[in-house]
Structure 1
Amino acid sequence: MDQRIINLYDEYTHAPLSRKEFINRLAKLTGSLALAMTVLPLLENNYANAATVVPDKDLKAEDITYPGAEGVTMKAFQVKPEGKKLGTVMVIHENRGLNPHIKDVAMRVAQAGFLAIAPDALSVFGGTPANEDEARGLFAKLDAKQNITNFVKGLEYLEKHKNGNGKTGVVGFCWGGALAAQMAIHSPSLDAAVAYYGRQPEAADVPKIKAEFMAHYGGLDERVNAGIPAFETALKAAGTKHQLFVYEGANHAFNNTSSPTRYHEAAAKLAWDRTLELFNRKLK
Protein backbone atom coordinates (compact mmCIF):
# COMPACT_ATOMS: atom_id res chain seq x y z
CA MET A 1 0.00 0.00 0.00
CA ASP A 2 1.12 3.55 -0.76
CA GLN A 3 3.11 4.76 2.25
CA ARG A 4 1.39 8.15 1.99
CA ILE A 5 -1.92 6.44 2.79
CA ILE A 6 -0.44 4.71 5.83
CA ASN A 7 1.09 8.00 6.98
CA LEU A 8 -2.29 9.71 6.59
CA TYR A 9 -3.96 7.04 8.71
CA ASP A 10 -1.23 7.46 11.32
CA GLU A 11 -1.92 11.19 11.35
CA TYR A 12 -5.65 10.50 11.72
CA THR A 13 -5.13 8.18 14.68
CA HIS A 14 -2.82 10.57 16.53
CA ALA A 15 -3.63 14.13 15.51
CA PRO A 16 -6.88 16.07 16.01
CA LEU A 17 -8.01 15.15 12.50
CA SER A 18 -11.75 14.66 12.00
CA ARG A 19 -13.02 11.56 10.26
CA LYS A 20 -14.56 13.72 7.53
CA GLU A 21 -11.23 15.41 6.77
CA PHE A 22 -9.46 12.04 6.88
CA ILE A 23 -11.90 10.51 4.37
CA ASN A 24 -11.62 13.55 2.09
CA ARG A 25 -7.83 13.38 2.07
CA LEU A 26 -7.92 9.61 1.61
CA ALA A 27 -10.18 10.08 -1.43
CA LYS A 28 -7.67 12.51 -2.94
CA LEU A 29 -4.83 10.03 -2.45
CA THR A 30 -6.76 7.09 -3.88
CA GLY A 31 -8.42 9.04 -6.68
CA SER A 32 -12.06 8.70 -5.66
CA LEU A 33 -14.39 8.31 -2.69
CA ALA A 34 -15.30 4.81 -3.90
CA LEU A 35 -11.67 3.71 -3.85
CA ALA A 36 -11.20 5.35 -0.46
CA MET A 37 -14.05 3.26 0.94
CA THR A 38 -12.40 0.14 -0.52
CA VAL A 39 -9.07 0.95 1.13
CA LEU A 40 -10.54 1.96 4.51
CA PRO A 41 -11.16 -1.60 5.84
CA LEU A 42 -7.51 -2.40 5.15
CA LEU A 43 -6.44 0.48 7.37
CA GLU A 44 -8.81 0.16 10.30
CA ASN A 45 -8.37 -2.40 13.06
CA ASN A 46 -10.06 -5.75 12.50
CA TYR A 47 -10.39 -7.40 15.90
CA ALA A 48 -11.31 -10.70 14.31
CA ASN A 49 -7.54 -11.01 13.80
CA ALA A 50 -6.63 -9.91 17.32
CA ALA A 51 -6.52 -13.28 19.06
CA THR A 52 -3.23 -15.16 18.78
CA VAL A 53 -3.47 -17.16 22.01
CA VAL A 54 -5.47 -20.38 22.07
CA PRO A 55 -7.59 -20.51 25.26
CA ASP A 56 -5.70 -22.47 27.89
CA LYS A 57 -7.22 -23.99 31.02
CA ASP A 58 -4.04 -23.05 32.88
CA LEU A 59 -4.62 -19.34 32.21
CA LYS A 60 -7.21 -17.64 34.39
CA ALA A 61 -8.50 -14.48 32.68
CA GLU A 62 -10.87 -12.11 34.43
CA ASP A 63 -11.94 -8.49 34.74
CA ILE A 64 -10.77 -6.87 37.96
CA THR A 65 -10.67 -3.46 39.60
CA TYR A 66 -8.05 -1.76 41.76
CA PRO A 67 -7.95 1.63 43.52
CA GLY A 68 -6.42 4.37 41.37
CA ALA A 69 -5.98 8.05 42.19
CA GLU A 70 -8.25 9.49 44.86
CA GLY A 71 -11.85 8.71 43.99
CA VAL A 72 -10.98 6.56 40.96
CA THR A 73 -11.68 2.86 40.57
CA MET A 74 -9.57 1.41 37.78
CA LYS A 75 -10.85 -1.39 35.58
CA ALA A 76 -8.34 -3.90 34.25
CA PHE A 77 -8.08 -7.23 32.46
CA GLN A 78 -6.02 -9.74 34.46
CA VAL A 79 -4.52 -13.01 33.30
CA LYS A 80 -2.86 -15.40 35.73
CA PRO A 81 -1.04 -18.59 34.79
CA GLU A 82 -0.55 -21.49 37.17
CA GLY A 83 1.93 -20.65 39.92
CA LYS A 84 1.98 -18.74 43.18
CA LYS A 85 5.05 -16.52 42.99
CA LEU A 86 5.25 -15.07 39.52
CA GLY A 87 6.90 -12.06 37.95
CA THR A 88 4.25 -9.47 37.08
CA VAL A 89 3.75 -7.32 34.00
CA MET A 90 1.49 -4.38 33.23
CA VAL A 91 0.35 -4.08 29.60
CA ILE A 92 -0.60 -0.55 28.48
CA HIS A 93 -2.89 -0.03 25.52
CA GLU A 94 -2.78 2.33 22.55
CA ASN A 95 -4.88 5.49 22.21
CA ARG A 96 -7.99 3.46 21.41
CA GLY A 97 -8.32 2.05 24.92
CA LEU A 98 -8.49 -1.49 26.24
CA ASN A 99 -9.44 -3.57 23.21
CA PRO A 100 -9.19 -7.24 22.06
CA HIS A 101 -5.66 -6.78 20.70
CA ILE A 102 -4.29 -5.54 24.03
CA LYS A 103 -6.15 -8.27 25.90
CA ASP A 104 -4.46 -10.76 23.59
CA VAL A 105 -1.06 -9.24 24.41
CA ALA A 106 -1.85 -9.73 28.11
CA MET A 107 -2.70 -13.35 27.35
CA ARG A 108 0.63 -13.76 25.57
CA VAL A 109 2.47 -12.30 28.56
CA ALA A 110 0.70 -14.75 30.86
CA GLN A 111 1.38 -17.63 28.48
CA ALA A 112 5.07 -16.79 28.89
CA GLY A 113 4.74 -17.35 32.66
CA PHE A 114 3.92 -13.92 34.10
CA LEU A 115 0.91 -12.53 35.93
CA ALA A 116 -0.42 -9.77 33.66
CA ILE A 117 -2.85 -6.91 33.99
CA ALA A 118 -4.00 -4.50 31.28
CA PRO A 119 -5.57 -1.41 32.89
CA ASP A 120 -8.18 0.69 31.10
CA ALA A 121 -7.10 4.34 31.11
CA LEU A 122 -10.68 5.33 30.26
CA SER A 123 -12.01 3.85 33.50
CA VAL A 124 -12.48 7.45 34.66
CA PHE A 125 -15.16 7.76 31.94
CA GLY A 126 -16.74 4.40 32.65
CA GLY A 127 -14.41 2.36 30.47
CA THR A 128 -13.42 2.08 26.81
CA PRO A 129 -16.38 2.66 24.47
CA ALA A 130 -16.96 0.40 21.47
CA ASN A 131 -16.60 3.30 19.02
CA GLU A 132 -12.88 3.92 18.45
CA ASP A 133 -13.32 7.55 17.40
CA GLU A 134 -15.25 8.19 20.61
CA ALA A 135 -12.45 6.50 22.57
CA ARG A 136 -9.80 8.62 20.88
CA GLY A 137 -11.68 11.78 21.79
CA LEU A 138 -11.74 10.79 25.46
CA PHE A 139 -7.95 10.55 25.65
CA ALA A 140 -7.70 14.30 25.14
CA LYS A 141 -9.87 14.75 28.24
CA LEU A 142 -7.69 12.68 30.57
CA ASP A 143 -5.95 14.53 33.37
CA ALA A 144 -2.28 13.69 32.75
CA LYS A 145 -1.20 13.73 36.39
CA GLN A 146 -4.20 11.68 37.52
CA ASN A 147 -3.63 9.22 34.67
CA ILE A 148 -0.04 8.58 35.68
CA THR A 149 -1.15 8.02 39.27
CA ASN A 150 -3.80 5.54 38.10
CA PHE A 151 -1.17 3.43 36.37
CA VAL A 152 1.43 3.77 39.15
CA LYS A 153 -1.26 2.40 41.48
CA GLY A 154 -1.58 -0.53 39.10
CA LEU A 155 2.11 -1.30 39.51
CA GLU A 156 1.68 -1.09 43.28
CA TYR A 157 -1.21 -3.55 42.96
CA LEU A 158 1.10 -5.95 41.12
CA GLU A 159 3.96 -5.53 43.61
CA LYS A 160 1.64 -6.57 46.44
CA HIS A 161 -0.26 -9.28 44.55
CA LYS A 162 -0.50 -12.49 46.53
CA ASN A 163 0.63 -14.48 43.49
CA GLY A 164 3.46 -12.10 42.59
CA ASN A 165 7.13 -12.33 43.50
CA GLY A 166 7.48 -8.57 44.03
CA LYS A 167 9.19 -7.96 40.67
CA THR A 168 7.33 -5.80 38.14
CA GLY A 169 7.64 -4.92 34.49
CA VAL A 170 5.64 -2.87 32.02
CA VAL A 171 5.13 -3.01 28.27
CA GLY A 172 3.21 -0.37 26.35
CA PHE A 173 2.25 0.37 22.77
CA CYS A 174 1.99 3.77 21.03
CA TRP A 175 0.25 5.98 23.66
CA GLY A 176 1.01 3.16 26.06
CA GLY A 177 4.65 3.11 24.94
CA ALA A 178 5.00 6.73 26.01
CA LEU A 179 3.27 5.88 29.28
CA ALA A 180 5.58 2.89 29.83
CA ALA A 181 8.46 5.38 29.89
CA GLN A 182 6.54 7.51 32.37
CA MET A 183 6.06 4.45 34.58
CA ALA A 184 9.83 3.97 34.58
CA ILE A 185 10.23 7.62 35.57
CA HIS A 186 7.57 7.61 38.30
CA SER A 187 8.08 4.09 39.70
CA PRO A 188 11.66 3.71 40.95
CA SER A 189 10.98 0.12 42.06
CA LEU A 190 10.05 -0.98 38.50
CA ASP A 191 12.43 -3.67 37.26
CA ALA A 192 11.92 -3.58 33.47
CA ALA A 193 10.13 -1.29 31.02
CA VAL A 194 9.46 -1.86 27.32
CA ALA A 195 8.06 0.79 24.97
CA TYR A 196 6.78 -0.01 21.50
CA TYR A 197 6.75 2.98 19.12
CA GLY A 198 5.98 5.43 21.91
CA ARG A 199 6.85 9.11 22.20
CA GLN A 200 10.03 9.58 24.19
CA PRO A 201 10.08 11.38 27.57
CA GLU A 202 11.79 14.69 28.22
CA ALA A 203 15.57 14.35 28.48
CA ALA A 204 15.52 15.98 31.92
CA ASP A 205 13.39 13.10 33.25
CA VAL A 206 15.57 10.29 31.90
CA PRO A 207 17.94 10.15 34.93
CA LYS A 208 14.91 9.14 37.05
CA ILE A 209 14.64 5.85 35.15
CA LYS A 210 15.98 3.04 37.35
CA ALA A 211 14.46 0.09 35.46
CA GLU A 212 16.26 -1.55 32.56
CA PHE A 213 14.67 0.05 29.51
CA MET A 214 13.95 -1.36 26.04
CA ALA A 215 12.30 0.38 23.09
CA HIS A 216 11.10 -0.88 19.69
CA TYR A 217 10.51 1.42 16.71
CA GLY A 218 9.31 0.92 13.15
CA GLY A 219 11.82 2.21 10.63
CA LEU A 220 9.08 3.97 8.63
CA ASP A 221 7.62 5.72 11.69
CA GLU A 222 9.17 9.15 11.06
CA ARG A 223 6.88 10.97 13.51
CA VAL A 224 7.98 8.97 16.56
CA ASN A 225 11.52 8.25 15.43
CA ALA A 226 12.40 11.94 15.31
CA GLY A 227 12.82 11.77 19.09
CA ILE A 228 15.19 8.80 19.19
CA PRO A 229 18.58 10.63 18.96
CA ALA A 230 17.94 12.98 21.88
CA PHE A 231 16.47 10.15 23.94
CA GLU A 232 19.42 7.87 23.30
CA THR A 233 21.86 10.64 24.18
CA ALA A 234 20.02 11.22 27.47
CA LEU A 235 19.97 7.49 28.31
CA LYS A 236 23.72 7.21 27.74
CA ALA A 237 24.44 10.36 29.73
CA ALA A 238 22.37 9.04 32.65
CA GLY A 239 24.05 5.63 32.54
CA THR A 240 20.65 3.95 32.15
CA LYS A 241 20.87 0.35 31.03
CA HIS A 242 18.94 0.27 27.79
CA GLN A 243 18.40 -1.26 24.37
CA LEU A 244 16.83 0.59 21.44
CA PHE A 245 15.81 -1.28 18.29
CA VAL A 246 14.65 0.06 14.93
CA TYR A 247 13.02 -2.40 12.52
CA GLU A 248 13.59 -1.40 8.92
CA GLY A 249 10.55 -1.59 6.67
CA ALA A 250 8.15 -1.65 9.63
CA ASN A 251 5.49 0.99 10.29
CA HIS A 252 4.10 2.42 13.48
CA ALA A 253 1.93 -0.24 15.20
CA PHE A 254 3.88 -3.06 13.55
CA ASN A 255 3.01 -5.35 16.48
CA ASN A 256 -0.75 -4.91 16.09
CA THR A 257 -2.14 -8.10 14.52
CA SER A 258 -5.53 -6.43 14.05
CA SER A 259 -4.05 -3.69 11.81
CA PRO A 260 -3.62 -5.46 8.45
CA THR A 261 -1.62 -2.82 6.59
CA ARG A 262 0.77 -2.02 9.45
CA TYR A 263 1.35 -5.40 11.11
CA HIS A 264 4.86 -6.66 10.29
CA GLU A 265 5.17 -10.31 11.28
CA ALA A 266 8.97 -10.58 11.27
CA ALA A 267 9.52 -7.36 13.22
CA ALA A 268 6.74 -8.22 15.67
CA LYS A 269 8.18 -11.67 16.39
CA LEU A 270 11.74 -10.40 16.88
CA ALA A 271 10.60 -7.54 19.11
CA TRP A 272 8.47 -9.90 21.19
CA ASP A 273 11.33 -12.38 21.61
CA ARG A 274 13.55 -9.55 22.82
CA THR A 275 10.83 -8.31 25.17
CA LEU A 276 10.41 -11.74 26.75
CA GLU A 277 14.17 -12.14 27.07
CA LEU A 278 14.25 -8.98 29.18
CA PHE A 279 11.28 -10.02 31.30
CA ASN A 280 12.67 -13.52 31.85
CA ARG A 281 15.98 -12.06 32.95
CA LYS A 282 14.64 -9.32 35.20
CA LEU A 283 11.35 -10.64 36.60
CA LYS A 284 11.81 -14.35 37.30
Structure 2
Amino acid sequence: MPARTETVTVADGSFAMPLWLPAGGTGPGILLIQEIYGVGPYIMAVAEDLAGMGYAVGAPDMFWRIRPGWVGEHTERGTRESIELASRFDGRAGVADLGAALDHLKGLPEVTGGVGALGFCFGGSMAYLLAAERDDLAACVSFYGSQVPGALDLAPRIGCPIQFHFGGSDPYIPREQVAAVERAVAGMPNAEIHVQEEAGHAFHNRKSAMFHQPEAADRAWRLTEGFLARHLPA
Protein backbone atom coordinates (compact mmCIF):
# COMPACT_ATOMS: atom_id res chain seq x y z
CA MET A 1 0.00 0.00 0.00
CA PRO A 2 1.17 3.57 -0.62
CA ALA A 3 2.86 5.40 2.22
CA ARG A 4 0.56 8.35 1.61
CA THR A 5 -1.23 10.24 -1.13
CA GLU A 6 0.19 13.53 -2.33
CA THR A 7 -1.93 16.27 -3.92
CA VAL A 8 -0.54 17.90 -7.06
CA THR A 9 -1.94 21.34 -7.85
CA VAL A 10 -2.19 22.79 -11.34
CA ALA A 11 -3.83 25.93 -12.70
CA ASP A 12 -7.28 24.40 -13.13
CA GLY A 13 -7.46 22.02 -10.17
CA SER A 14 -5.60 19.32 -8.33
CA PHE A 15 -5.16 15.57 -8.50
CA ALA A 16 -4.00 12.70 -6.34
CA MET A 17 -0.61 11.04 -6.58
CA PRO A 18 -0.19 7.99 -4.31
CA LEU A 19 3.38 7.69 -3.07
CA TRP A 20 5.35 4.55 -2.20
CA LEU A 21 8.62 4.82 -0.28
CA PRO A 22 11.57 2.42 -0.08
CA ALA A 23 12.43 0.69 3.17
CA GLY A 24 15.23 3.17 3.84
CA GLY A 25 12.80 6.09 3.59
CA THR A 26 14.58 7.92 0.76
CA GLY A 27 15.72 7.19 -2.77
CA PRO A 28 15.66 8.36 -6.37
CA GLY A 29 12.20 9.09 -7.72
CA ILE A 30 10.17 7.31 -10.36
CA LEU A 31 7.02 8.76 -11.88
CA LEU A 32 4.92 5.68 -12.62
CA ILE A 33 2.32 6.32 -15.31
CA GLN A 34 -0.86 4.26 -15.37
CA GLU A 35 -2.55 2.19 -18.05
CA ILE A 36 -6.05 3.12 -19.18
CA TYR A 37 -7.27 1.04 -16.22
CA GLY A 38 -6.08 3.68 -13.76
CA VAL A 39 -3.97 3.39 -10.63
CA GLY A 40 -5.32 -0.05 -9.85
CA PRO A 41 -3.96 -3.33 -8.46
CA TYR A 42 -1.41 -3.80 -11.24
CA ILE A 43 0.10 -0.32 -11.06
CA MET A 44 0.14 -0.60 -7.27
CA ALA A 45 2.00 -3.91 -7.54
CA VAL A 46 4.58 -2.37 -9.88
CA ALA A 47 4.97 0.57 -7.49
CA GLU A 48 5.66 -1.85 -4.66
CA ASP A 49 8.23 -3.65 -6.83
CA LEU A 50 10.00 -0.37 -7.55
CA ALA A 51 9.90 0.73 -3.93
CA GLY A 52 11.42 -2.63 -3.04
CA MET A 53 14.26 -1.78 -5.43
CA GLY A 54 14.93 1.44 -3.51
CA TYR A 55 12.86 4.04 -5.35
CA ALA A 56 10.34 6.61 -4.17
CA VAL A 57 7.41 6.10 -6.53
CA GLY A 58 4.60 8.50 -7.40
CA ALA A 59 1.66 7.31 -9.52
CA PRO A 60 -0.49 10.30 -10.55
CA ASP A 61 -4.19 9.94 -11.35
CA MET A 62 -4.14 10.82 -15.03
CA PHE A 63 -7.91 10.68 -15.56
CA TRP A 64 -8.74 13.15 -12.78
CA ARG A 65 -10.43 15.58 -15.15
CA ILE A 66 -12.69 12.86 -16.56
CA ARG A 67 -13.30 10.42 -13.70
CA PRO A 68 -11.13 10.90 -10.60
CA GLY A 69 -9.92 7.70 -8.99
CA TRP A 70 -10.91 5.52 -11.94
CA VAL A 71 -9.95 1.84 -11.61
CA GLY A 72 -11.16 -0.27 -14.51
CA GLU A 73 -11.50 -4.04 -14.41
CA HIS A 74 -9.45 -6.20 -16.76
CA THR A 75 -12.56 -7.59 -18.42
CA GLU A 76 -14.14 -6.93 -21.79
CA ARG A 77 -16.55 -4.45 -20.20
CA GLY A 78 -13.82 -2.80 -18.12
CA THR A 79 -11.65 -2.51 -21.20
CA ARG A 80 -14.46 -0.85 -23.20
CA GLU A 81 -15.10 1.61 -20.38
CA SER A 82 -11.40 2.40 -20.02
CA ILE A 83 -10.96 2.91 -23.76
CA GLU A 84 -13.93 5.28 -23.74
CA LEU A 85 -12.33 7.33 -20.96
CA ALA A 86 -9.01 7.40 -22.78
CA SER A 87 -10.77 8.65 -25.93
CA ARG A 88 -11.79 11.77 -23.98
CA PHE A 89 -8.33 12.36 -22.53
CA ASP A 90 -6.68 15.69 -23.36
CA GLY A 91 -3.13 14.71 -24.25
CA ARG A 92 -1.70 18.22 -24.10
CA ALA A 93 -3.15 18.80 -20.64
CA GLY A 94 -1.98 15.33 -19.62
CA VAL A 95 1.66 16.07 -20.48
CA ALA A 96 1.39 19.30 -18.50
CA ASP A 97 -0.07 17.37 -15.56
CA LEU A 98 2.84 14.94 -15.72
CA GLY A 99 5.25 17.86 -15.68
CA ALA A 100 3.57 19.16 -12.53
CA ALA A 101 3.66 15.69 -10.97
CA LEU A 102 7.35 15.40 -11.84
CA ASP A 103 8.10 18.75 -10.21
CA HIS A 104 6.11 17.74 -7.13
CA LEU A 105 7.91 14.41 -6.86
CA LYS A 106 11.32 16.06 -7.25
CA GLY A 107 10.49 18.44 -4.43
CA LEU A 108 9.63 15.80 -1.83
CA PRO A 109 12.16 15.40 0.99
CA GLU A 110 12.20 11.63 0.52
CA VAL A 111 13.36 11.94 -3.10
CA THR A 112 17.13 12.04 -3.35
CA GLY A 113 19.10 11.95 -6.58
CA GLY A 114 17.46 11.93 -9.98
CA VAL A 115 13.92 11.20 -11.11
CA GLY A 116 12.82 8.94 -13.94
CA ALA A 117 9.55 8.00 -15.64
CA LEU A 118 8.11 4.57 -16.37
CA GLY A 119 4.79 3.91 -18.08
CA PHE A 120 2.70 1.05 -19.42
CA CYS A 121 0.35 1.10 -22.45
CA PHE A 122 -1.33 4.53 -22.27
CA GLY A 123 1.37 5.40 -19.74
CA GLY A 124 4.09 4.17 -22.08
CA SER A 125 2.96 6.75 -24.61
CA MET A 126 2.74 9.46 -21.98
CA ALA A 127 6.22 8.67 -20.61
CA TYR A 128 7.61 9.04 -24.14
CA LEU A 129 5.83 12.37 -24.66
CA LEU A 130 7.03 13.63 -21.28
CA ALA A 131 10.64 12.68 -22.09
CA ALA A 132 10.39 14.74 -25.27
CA GLU A 133 9.24 17.75 -23.23
CA ARG A 134 11.52 17.61 -20.21
CA ASP A 135 15.29 17.64 -20.09
CA ASP A 136 15.51 16.84 -16.38
CA LEU A 137 14.54 13.17 -16.50
CA ALA A 138 17.36 10.83 -15.54
CA ALA A 139 15.80 7.89 -17.40
CA CYS A 140 12.59 6.84 -19.12
CA VAL A 141 11.07 3.39 -19.73
CA SER A 142 8.15 3.06 -22.16
CA PHE A 143 6.22 -0.21 -22.32
CA TYR A 144 4.15 -0.73 -25.50
CA GLY A 145 3.03 2.86 -25.99
CA SER A 146 0.62 2.83 -28.93
CA GLN A 147 1.19 6.53 -29.68
CA VAL A 148 4.95 6.15 -30.03
CA PRO A 149 5.03 4.93 -33.67
CA GLY A 150 2.98 7.95 -34.77
CA ALA A 151 5.12 10.45 -32.89
CA LEU A 152 8.63 9.42 -33.94
CA ASP A 153 9.42 12.99 -34.98
CA LEU A 154 9.75 13.69 -31.25
CA ALA A 155 12.44 11.07 -30.66
CA PRO A 156 15.40 13.39 -31.44
CA ARG A 157 14.17 15.73 -28.70
CA ILE A 158 14.71 13.11 -26.00
CA GLY A 159 17.97 13.67 -24.18
CA CYS A 160 17.72 11.15 -21.36
CA PRO A 161 18.41 7.43 -21.65
CA ILE A 162 15.22 5.75 -22.84
CA GLN A 163 14.24 2.09 -23.07
CA PHE A 164 11.34 0.84 -25.19
CA HIS A 165 9.48 -2.47 -24.81
CA PHE A 166 7.03 -3.92 -27.30
CA GLY A 167 5.31 -7.21 -28.02
CA GLY A 168 5.99 -8.55 -31.50
CA SER A 169 2.48 -10.05 -31.69
CA ASP A 170 0.57 -7.06 -30.30
CA PRO A 171 -2.83 -6.71 -32.01
CA TYR A 172 -2.99 -3.03 -31.02
CA ILE A 173 0.51 -2.11 -32.27
CA PRO A 174 1.24 -3.98 -35.54
CA ARG A 175 4.74 -5.39 -35.96
CA GLU A 176 5.47 -3.01 -38.84
CA GLN A 177 4.85 -0.08 -36.50
CA VAL A 178 7.25 -1.58 -33.97
CA ALA A 179 9.78 -1.95 -36.79
CA ALA A 180 9.40 1.77 -37.52
CA VAL A 181 10.33 2.51 -33.91
CA GLU A 182 13.33 0.17 -34.21
CA ARG A 183 14.54 2.05 -37.28
CA ALA A 184 13.95 5.47 -35.72
CA VAL A 185 15.94 4.77 -32.55
CA ALA A 186 18.72 2.74 -34.17
CA GLY A 187 20.93 5.80 -34.45
CA MET A 188 20.15 7.21 -31.01
CA PRO A 189 22.97 6.47 -28.57
CA ASN A 190 20.64 7.11 -25.62
CA ALA A 191 17.93 4.65 -26.76
CA GLU A 192 17.42 0.91 -26.65
CA ILE A 193 14.46 -1.18 -27.77
CA HIS A 194 13.45 -4.72 -26.84
CA VAL A 195 10.77 -6.73 -28.63
CA GLN A 196 9.33 -9.90 -27.13
CA GLU A 197 8.29 -11.43 -30.44
CA GLU A 198 5.76 -13.92 -29.06
CA ALA A 199 4.11 -11.40 -26.73
CA GLY A 200 0.90 -9.49 -27.22
CA HIS A 201 -0.23 -6.25 -25.66
CA ALA A 202 0.18 -5.54 -21.93
CA PHE A 203 2.16 -8.75 -21.51
CA HIS A 204 3.73 -7.51 -18.27
CA ASN A 205 0.39 -7.11 -16.48
CA ARG A 206 0.47 -9.92 -13.96
CA LYS A 207 -2.89 -8.90 -12.55
CA SER A 208 -4.69 -9.65 -15.80
CA ALA A 209 -5.34 -13.13 -17.12
CA MET A 210 -6.33 -11.46 -20.41
CA PHE A 211 -2.86 -10.11 -21.06
CA HIS A 212 -0.15 -11.56 -18.84
CA GLN A 213 2.59 -13.61 -20.50
CA PRO A 214 4.96 -14.57 -17.66
CA GLU A 215 8.10 -15.46 -19.59
CA ALA A 216 8.06 -12.32 -21.73
CA ALA A 217 7.18 -10.26 -18.67
CA ASP A 218 10.11 -11.63 -16.69
CA ARG A 219 12.57 -10.99 -19.52
CA ALA A 220 11.36 -7.43 -20.02
CA TRP A 221 11.40 -6.65 -16.31
CA ARG A 222 14.96 -7.92 -15.92
CA LEU A 223 15.96 -5.58 -18.73
CA THR A 224 14.13 -2.74 -17.00
CA GLU A 225 15.88 -3.42 -13.71
CA GLY A 226 19.27 -3.40 -15.43
CA PHE A 227 18.47 -0.19 -17.29
CA LEU A 228 17.40 1.61 -14.11
CA ALA A 229 20.45 0.33 -12.25
CA ARG A 230 22.69 1.84 -14.92
CA HIS A 231 20.99 5.18 -15.35
CA LEU A 232 19.09 5.80 -12.09
CA PRO A 233 20.84 3.70 -9.45
CA ALA A 234 19.05 3.34 -6.13
TM-score with structure 1 setting the length:
0.73
Residue 179 (structure 2) aligned to one of 229, 235, 247: 229
Question: Post-superposition shift, 1:211?
Answer: 1.1
Unpaired stretches in structure 1, ≥5 consecutive residues: 1-54
Q: 1:209 to 1:171 in 2, by over 3 A?
A: same
Q: What is the aligned partner in structure 1 of residue 96 from structure 2?
A: 149
Q: What is the aligned partner in structure 2 of residue 263 from structure 1?
A: 212
> Mapping of 1:40-189 within 5 angstroms?
61-68=3-10, 70-83=11-24, 85-130=26-71, 132=78, 133-189=80-136
Does residue 191 in structure 1 map to residue 138 in structure 2?
A: yes
Does residue 245 in structure 1 map to residue 191 in structure 2?
A: no
Aligned equivalents of 1:280, 1:161: Cα separation in 2 = 22
Write 1 or 2 for the structure with the bigger share of helix. 1
Question: Post-superposition shift, 1:108?
Answer: 0.8
Aligned equivalents of 2:16, 2:50: Cα separation in 1 = 19
Give the secondary structure class of the aligned counterpart of 1:151: helix
Aligned equivalents of 1:130, 1:259: Cα separation in 2 = 13
Aligned equivalents of 1:219, 1:126: Cα separation in 2 = 32
Question: Post-superposition shift, 1:63?
Answer: 2.3
Question: Post-superposition shift, 1:164?
Answer: 1.3
CA contact (8 A) 1:217 1:246 kept: yes
Aligned equivalents of 1:129, 1:123: Cα separation in 2 = 8
| Number of equivalenced pairs | 224
Aligned equivalents of 2:152, 2:104: Cα separation in 1 = 28
TM-score with structure 2 setting the length:
0.87
Question: Post-superposition shift, 1:128?
Answer: 3.2
Question: Post-superposition shift, 1:80?
Answer: 0.4
Question: Post-superposition shift, 1:84?
Answer: 5.1
Q: What is the aligned partner in structure 2 of residue 32 from structure 1?
A: none
Q: 1:130 to 1:217 in 2, by over 3 A?
A: closer
Q: 1:264 to 1:130 in 2, by over 3 A?
A: closer
1:64-112 Cα shifts (integer Å, max 9, x gaps): 21123x1221212210013354111111111122211111111111011
> AA paired with 2:7?
T
Question: Post-superposition shift, 1:240?
Answer: 4.1
Give the secondary structure class of the aligned counterpart of 1:125: coil
Residue 165 (structure 2) aligned to one of 185, 197, 216: 216
1:7-28 Cα shifts (integer Å, max 9, x gaps): xxxxxxxxxxxxxxxxxxxxxx
Aligned equivalents of 2:144, 2:171: Cα separation in 1 = 10
Give the secondary structure class of the aligned counterpart of 2:216: helix
Unpaired stretches in structure 2, ≥5 consecutive residues: 73-77
**Higher gyration radius (CA):** 1
Question: Post-superposition shift, 1:233?
Answer: 2.8
Q: What is the aligned partner in structure 2 of residue 24 from structure 1?
A: none
Aligned CA RMSD, in angstroms, stands at: 1.9
Give the secondary structure class of the aligned counterpart of 1:119: coil
1:142-178 Cα shifts (integer Å, max 9, x gaps): 2221111001111111222211124011111111111
